[in-house]
Chain A
């Protein structure tokens, strides 16, 4: 029996200590929010927190987290409420297929905990380990800036969607979404 602490709760599992944390979370503990993407720490879909730092659970043997605090996407919210990062993800309408987003959120939460006002370079450094096949990087960047403190820094990429309606006179800009 192995004892690990997940989302503040002590869990006992009967598993080979070499098993990657990812599969323990998903198969032994039913925490399927953490995703398998590549198995070799290339995509970040399996990102969880180990004592608050983002790690790739697909290459982390469960034996390496004994005595540590593991937080998954299921436990990142605060007192049953969404974490501000999760809320920002909704406000910016970040996810498409959504499969990578647990890992994206976990990387972003860890980034903001360490650096409450990251600039673009800091965002690039912290988030480039997380692939998004739907290509929602621009929205992820905006969502992170929405949460960063202070919010004063101008957001580099506005949601640049304009709608034009043709009329006899030609195209005219009618609104920004």
Chain B
């Protein structure tokens, strides 16, 4: 309380410190990053308020404890973030531990904020002085904690963990300098030890932890430069892995409460339809059934076991209200998309996305123009852990257990649904069995809360895989149309691109290439199919569109697709270096056997640049992916193996989508129901993936999503290289490759000389 010290809001954030029980030093940093997803911003008290909070404690036993505020869905962010903190602190990595918060405080920044607001005590005890002191002013805004946007390392890590570590280190140095009566500049730190070489003195951090807490924290602690990193950039085993090989990790679906019952449900097949009526008698007569709960757009059965609940849902014959979408299908939706696109051009009311030069004028005067229409279907996330949430309501208080990318959004959505104050809702976040954007939405915990409320008992709601597949927030289907114009010298002088709907990130449809005239525009095309963020968001569609069509541009210009990309990246050395490295490692110029081909794609997303080369063979109508090579520049790889794992994972996620992914609509409802009709790449089809990392020293980018966008275009371009057949619509599995390759247009890919690396 009185012994907590606070700096002030600075460019880097709000730093506070205090001495806690037993003389440990605690340093907290609250940071406010830039923009965030619009629909999440409502949960913050005011724009530009706190998003992320970081804590570090240096105990009297010299153990450094890090609290990492991002939830874990397998991206390894928690380990990388601890590396960032420990490095700036010059901590001995062997003495760094994580606060393994019990389930009820799983995510400390959230718990700390709520703990303060409610005056209860489920933040860790050692945080108490700083919480009740300096953080008085900022905890009110501490609600929001989202895991998404590949943001953990580049936002929380850069602005939070590193600053906390550096601030704590500076304070320890000052405390030692005072005690030893030597200039602070003469003290060096290493492995959690303070050293003054000329006097031969040294002391563990713990010795000065209490004294350090007496200082006002530096408002702008000096951060290390890349060459000074000791722990960042090294391979460190991920902390969450041991619990995932012996079944002990508790996902949301594994939560168990005393007296808990289980719920299964069936929701209206057509999104937007409401429950009209249902005869519950047959279901209620089933063994173990406790109650049937009618929701606005679903019917749930609550039973002693989930299997019993699921069996009983089969006895329900609910009637749903009619909706305007009852006759819609994938065909009508795509036809409406095309119609919207054409009408916008005809009426001249295109929504501008990007204009460089005069593309329409250049197309008008071009010697040659090529056109193509691309499209992708809706996609489900299909997280391995089916959607679930467990809710207990007691005495006006609501407690929720789940794995969420947006626990604060859950808190508010549940409070709204129950008509209670958000302060009465406690969310216990668990590791997620896949997130990919699906677990940033709140439909499932809201249903679980309503079912628990109607049942009067704690309820664990688990969606069947069939519900999960048919009631996702889907990656939007999109049609994208292109035109490119060439001058007499086959130079591409114009690029026009039009597509349906624009979400995030805004730069997703923009190409990095120096085409002098560009016009990118879109139309709004509403459908009844609800959508949500899907790993890499708009990049996943536009990466396929723009990099696929750019390959067509290269072919039309009689240029090697790698060479033309390279030529038009003269002003973007980082892009060029990534492209060159991928091409070199993929042996781009090596001869391809008959029926084989290579395709290349380049995509910058979430601050990281990725080049992907796919090597395929098309034989007997089947596409076999022989190898995928990927080069990535995310500025600096804090956890190189973790980044490689994310690239491998992002590529496989994108490959499954490119080869097989299709959610189709029939009579307003989703057709696919489970993994038998929404297939995935399995072990026997999984290609070797090579990842090559460039530490360029640029501002750090994200890792969780940038691997995904490049594989679909690399694959489509490789298929063209192998066969001359251009895949403009995904999934690849819809195409018939049982043609004779010699009947197709001969691909023209002149061998080129690979450039000197870095030239």
Contact = CB atoms under 8 A, between A and B. Distances in A.
A157 B248 CA distance: 29
A38 B681 CA distance: 16
A165 B757 CA distance: 12
B262 interface: yes
A50 B465 CA distance: 25
A70 interface: no
B433 A99 contact: yes
B496 to A, nearest CB: 35
B241 A124 contact: no
A96 B75 CA distance: 6
> What does DSSP make chain B's interface, helix, strand, loop or mixed?
loop
A89 B243 CA distance: 11
A149 interface: no
Contact of B433 (A90, A98, A166, A171): A98
Interface stretch (B40-48, B209-217, B547-555, B690-698): B690-698
A20 B307 contact: yes
A177 B644 contact: yes
Contacts of A163: 233, 637, 640, 692-695
A74 B688 contact: no
Given A98-B74, A163-B695, A138 B758 contact: no
Interface in B641-660: 641-642, 644-645, 648-649, 651-653, 655-656
B664 interface: no
Contacts of B287: 16
Contact of B683 (A38, A43, A99, A127): A127
Given A38-B465, A128-B684, A32 B757 contact: no
Interface string A8-19: 000000011001
Interface in B214-265: 233, 235, 237-238, 240-251, 253-254, 256, 262
Nearest to B755: A170
Residues of A contacting B: mostly? loop
A117 interface: no
Interface string A54-76: 00000000000000000011100
A139 interface: yes
B686 A133 contact: no
B241 A93 contact: yes
Contact of A138 (B462, B686, B757): B686
Interface residues of B, number: 83
B757 A171 contact: yes
B640 A93 contact: no
Interface stretch (B158-166, B378-386, B419-427): B378-386
Interface stretch (B83-91, B199-207, B672-680): B672-680
Given A86-B245, A136-B645, 14 more contacts: A38-B675, A39-B465, A73-B247, A93-B641, A99-B251, A124-B683, A130-B682, A136-B648, A137-B682, A137-B683, A156-B688, A163-B695, A165-B696, A170-B759
Interface in A16-36: 16, 19-20, 23, 26-28, 30-36
Contacts of A74: 246-248
A158 to B, nearest CB: 9
B464 interface: yes
A32 B247 contact: yes
B757 A42 contact: no
Contacts of A169: 758
